[in-house]
Amino acid sequence: DTEVTQTPKHLVMGMTNKKSLKCEQHMGHRAMYWYKQKAKKPPELMFVYSYEKLSINESVPSRFSPECPNSSLLNLHLHALQPEDSALYLCASRRRLAAQETQYFGPGTRLLVL
Amino acid sequence: AQRVTQPEKLLSVFKGAPVELKCNYSYSGSPELFWYVQYSRQRLQLLLRHISRESIKGFTADLNKGETSFHLKKPFAQEEDSAMYYCALSLTGKLIFGQGTTLQVKP
């Protein structure tokens, strides 16, 4: 398996709902990322997990809660979101080979908050 | 501060014309630079990395440390090259993206 997968593809939620986004990779990569991408803008880094530990939190509001249950899985728990949180949420994993690092991206979850 | 600049939001060319997407970076160390491409409704994909000096889909990019640039070039654009292109700088496990350039190749 040489891809990052994300579920669901689309998600519509109300501001009082609780939902979760899921990301999976079986490439043995030990760093995983969550990004938020608005239309025609570059991805914005939210969180980085390295060896299942949170290593970077880019001052993301607490209504977004990441979780890394094991080296292959990354979740993003959503609660009490705002309409401005509507975006494409991308997961990525990072390969390190001979001191070179490459990030591989999933297809994203398109989130609409009503 | 480390920064990646892509000065053109939109680049529109005709099929068969040469293409150059500009990327300038600001970084005092030895940079690790990438070009990513995002086709409509597809995932962000790695196109090129400067270290490997390869050519993918006819695209090449050369790192010019003197001009702090990493421009993406293709001699003859194809319609299927139409996409959003992001230049990115890798820094301590993070990617710093430019704002992106939409390439539109007209028939």
Please give the full DSSP string across B18-75, using - where no structure is assigned. -EEE--EEE-SS--EEEEEEE-TTS--EEEEETTT---BTTBEE--BTTTTB--EEES
How far does the CA of residue A19 sit from the closest CA of chain B (Å)?
A: 22
Distances in Å between the alpha carbon of B82 and those of A26, B26, B87, B99? 31, 27, 16, 17
Q: How far apart are CA B86 and CA A11, in angstroms?
A: 26
Instruction: Verify whether the Cβ–Cβ distance B100 to A108 is below 8 Å.
Output: no
Which chain A residues have any C-beta within 8 angstroms of a chain B C-beta? 31, 40-43, 45, 48, 50, 55-56, 90, 94, 100-108
Give yes or no for B94 touching A (CB within 8 A): yes
Nearest to B98 among A42, A101, A106 (CB): A42
How far does the CA of residue A15 sit from the closest CA of chain B (Å)?
A: 26
* pLDDT tens for each residue of B16-57: 999 999 999 999 888 899 999 999 989 999 999 887 777 788
Instruction: Verify whether the Cβ–Cβ distance B45 to A105 is below 8 Å.
Output: yes
Q: Give chain B's mean pLDDT.
A: 93
Burial class (CB in 10 A: 0-12, 13-18, 19+), A51: exposed
Instruction: Verify whether the Cβ–Cβ distance A103 to B46 is below 8 Å.
Output: yes
Report whether A87 contacts A10 (CB < 8 A): no
With 90 as the cut, is the pLDDT of residue B73 above it? yes
Average pLDDT over residues A59-82: 95
What DSSP state is assigned to residue B81?
G
Average pLDDT over residues A102-113: 95
- Could you tell me the pLDDT band of residue A107, with boundaries at 50, 70 and 90? very high
